[in-house]
Structures are given as structure tokens and as C-alpha cells.
């Protein structure tokens, strides 16, 4: 595992038993209990994990961006009603119920954060990376967006306005990056290859 364990476990008051020392064992114990009680269908767990490991991820968002770059009418629909335009590509549902797309231009750069928890547009970007959910990013993105972006190797000139979008409600934001120069000859599939997750969060420029 990529994180530290401090050796402490988080007791529920009144629990008389020492919990197992390892998260895997503790989670397995809860899973077994819930399956034994009939509350959880084990096949449902597999289906959920398969969805977020294999079916939903930033390639979805990249297709949306590439379509917007290639098709002006699609881009117009995307900017007017992002939820409906994204559903045209068959991406919809949990944590993407109310989508808004914010467009980078030569004058404006957009950056998305959730300072209060970890809100993120799952249908187009998948589950958020650890850094997006972590205290350093959540605390500083709103007060020091240029310093945050610098940690990703991104420099934004002072004459470009930075707009930080704090996802405090059920509205989810996707950044539409600027189409890179010199890509005029590329088709939609090739354009999608240029689009990165970090570009659609706004911490990097393409």
C-alpha cells in the first residue's frame, strides 16, 4: 500500500474486541458479514469495481474534448447543456448528474477543486487521483492556484485570468482545454490521445 499506517486502529466505542491489524482483513470481515446477512450481493461488488477500474475513466472525457474540438455544433451544445451533450456520447450518471464545461481560452485558464470533500466528475474522468482528494490540493487550490499548478510544472502567465471552480454542490466541472497548435490535420481519435486527465482538471495545460 502506498500510505503509512501508524499502528492505531479506529475503535468504535463499546467494541470489546481488538480489530484485526490489517485493513484488508477488516474490510473482508465487513464484506463477509454483509453478504452473510443478505444485505450485499457479492456479484454487485464485482460489477461496481469492474465499472470503475475498467469502464469509466479519463478516456471518456478525452472523447468529449476531442469531439468539441472537431465539431463546432457539438461544442455549442456542450457549452449550453454539458450534461445532455456528454450523454450523447453515452457518459452519464453517478457524480455527473449536473455537468458544466468551462473553456480555456488565450485569456482564461480554469482549475477545478473540491475544498470540502472530493467531488469529481466520475462519468468523464473516473475516480479521482489521491492528490485531488488530499489536504494539500484542497487547501491551496483556491488561495494559490498558480503555486499549485507550478507543482505540476505548469506556469500560467500573469495576464491570463485563472478561474478556480470549487465543487461545493452537485454540479461537476470539466475543463475544456485549448486545442494544441499544429493539430489541424488530426482526426477525433488522434485528438483524444492528446487530452490528459490533468488537463481536464486544469492543473496542466496541453
Active site amino acids: 114, 117-119
Judged by CB under 8 A, the chain residues 174 through 193 that form the site for another protein are none
61-90 residues in contact with another protein (CB under 8 A) are none
How crowded is residue 200: how many other Cβ atoms within 10 Å of its Cβ? 27
Which residues on neighbouring strands pair with residue 171, listed in sequence order? Answer: 98
| Residue from 77, 79, 103, 133 binding another protein (CB under 8 A) | 133
- Cα-to-chain-centroid distance, residue 30: 28
| Contacting residue, 118, 154, 178, 196, with another protein by CB under 8 A | 118
CA gyration radius for the chain?
A: 20
CB 169 within 8 A of CB 163: no
The span from the CA of 68 to the CA of 116, in Å, is 30
Cβ–Cβ under 8 Å, residues 165 and 102 = yes
Take residue 143 and report the three cell numbers written for it: 488561495
* 106 lies in the site for another protein, by CB under 8 A: no
Q: Specify the residue, 159 or 184, whose C-beta has the smaller distance to another protein.
A: 159
Question: Judged by CB, which is closer to another protein: 69, or 112?
Answer: 112
Beta carbon nearer to another protein, 68 or 119: 119
126 binds another protein (CB under 8 A): yes
Number of residues that bind another protein (CB under 8 A): 89
User: Largest Cα–Cα distance in the chain?
Assistant: 68
According to the binding rule CB under 8 A, does residue 95 interact with another protein?
yes
145 binds another protein (CB under 8 A): yes
Pull the grid cell for residue 33.
Answer: 458479514
Interface residue with another protein, options 40, 79, 194, 206 (CB under 8 A)? 40
Residue 59 in the binding site for another protein (CB under 8 A): no
Nearest residue to 177 (alpha-carbon basis) of 65, 27, 16: 65
Q: Candidates 71, 84, 88, 94: give the one binding another protein (CB under 8 A).
A: 94
Measured from the CB atom, is 40 or 89 closer to another protein? Answer: 40
Does residue 155 touch another protein according to CB under 8 A? no
Any idea what the Cα angle at residue 178 is, between residues 176 and 182, rounded to 5°? 140
Amino acid at each position: 500500500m502506498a500510505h503509512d499506517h501508524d499502528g492505531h486502529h479506529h475503535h468504535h466505542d463499546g467494541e470489546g474486541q481488538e480489530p484485526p491489524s490489517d485493513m484488508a482483513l477488516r474490510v473482508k470481515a465487513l464484506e463477509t458479514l454483509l453478504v452473510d446477512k443478505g444485505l450485499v450481493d457479492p456479484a454487485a461488488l464485482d460489477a461496481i469495481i469492474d465499472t470503475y477500474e475498467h469502464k469509466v475513466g479519463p478516456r471518456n472525457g478525452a472523447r468529449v474534448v476531442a469531439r468539441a474540438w472537431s465539431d463546432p455544433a457539438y461544442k455549442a451544445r456542450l457549452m449550453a447543456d454539458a450534461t445532455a451533450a456528454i450523454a450523447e456520447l453515452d457518459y452519464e450518471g453517478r457524480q455527473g448528474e449536473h455537468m458544466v464545461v468551462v473553456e480555456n481560452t488565450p485569456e482564461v485558464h480554469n482549475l477545478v477543486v473540491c475544498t470540502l470533500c472530493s467531488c469529481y466528475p466520475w462519468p468523464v474522468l473516473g475516480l479521482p487521483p489521491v492528490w485531488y482528494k488530499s489536504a494539500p490540493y484542497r487547501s491551496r487550490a483556491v488561495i494559490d492556484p498558480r503555486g499549485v499548478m507550478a507543482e505540476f510544472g505548469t506556469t500560467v502567465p500573469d495576464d491570463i485570468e485563472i478561474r478556480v471552480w470549487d465543487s461545493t454542490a452537485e454540479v461537476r466541472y470539466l475543463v475544456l482545454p485549448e486545442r494544441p497548435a499544429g493539430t489541424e490535420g488530426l482526426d477525433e481519435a488522434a485528438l483524444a490521445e492528446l487530452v490528459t486527465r490533468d488537463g481536464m482538471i486544469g492543473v496542466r495545460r496541453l
